[in-house]
Amino acid sequence: MRYFFAALIVSLTALAMPLHAQGYPFSQRGSVTQRIAFTEIKIEYGRPSAKGRALFGALVPWDSVWHPGADLATQLSISHDITLEGQTLPKGVYTVWLIPRAQGAWTFILNKTTHIQHTPYPGANSDVLRIDVLPDENSRVETLTYLFPMVVRDEATVRIEWGTTGITLHVKAGYRPASMR
């Protein structure tokens, strides 16, 4: 019996060692939630860091579908229908994808396939929305960030920033509860 307990302790210690040796994840999980009028928007994502690397056109190739996040695919949840850059988006949960380009507009994609890893892209057949957006230059952001820099009544902007590049999307959340109509 003494040997059984000794073997059990050695086995449990051996199992715990790889977990301890693994250390902290390279990309931390993050989220941002914003209420716009009566609609809640939540973005859950992995936050990769630049770590001195060249990003767009290098780590992130031009003209290919890219997931702006790490590990699990970034999820966008909305509680009521909204418009995004003037296009209707039904309430629901979506994954976020981008096609960065060296010149001109980038393509922002929302896909209905959820709870998946950030690769491979699930395919255009399950896309719900594609929007062309122009990237802009911003102050250097080390860790990929989603934020809502402007929220006024039933309108907002959401930004994705990484390195010195960002994109802005305009949101309109016109939902009103039945008691306010």
Tens digits of residue pLDDT in 18-55: 544 567 778 899 999 999 999 999 999 999 999 999 99
The residue assigned the tokens 């229908």 is 81
Is the predicted pLDDT of residue 8 greater than 50, yes or no?
A: no
Tens digits of residue pLDDT in 84-134: 999 999 999 999 999 999 999 999 999 999 988 878 999 999 999 999 999
Nearest alpha-carbon partner for 97 in 76, 68, 136: 68
CA distance linking residue 126 with residue 114, whole number of Å? 10
What local confidence, expressed as pLDDT, does residue 3 receive? 58
CA distance linking residue 147 with residue 160, whole number of Å? 7
Residue 145 class from Cβ within 10 Å (0-12 exposed, 13-18 middle, 19+ buried)? middle
Give me the percent of the chain exceeding a pLDDT of 90.
78
Across 155-163, average pLDDT: 98
Q: In the predicted model, what is the mean pLDDT of the chain?
A: 89
pTM for the predicted model, two decimal places: 0.84
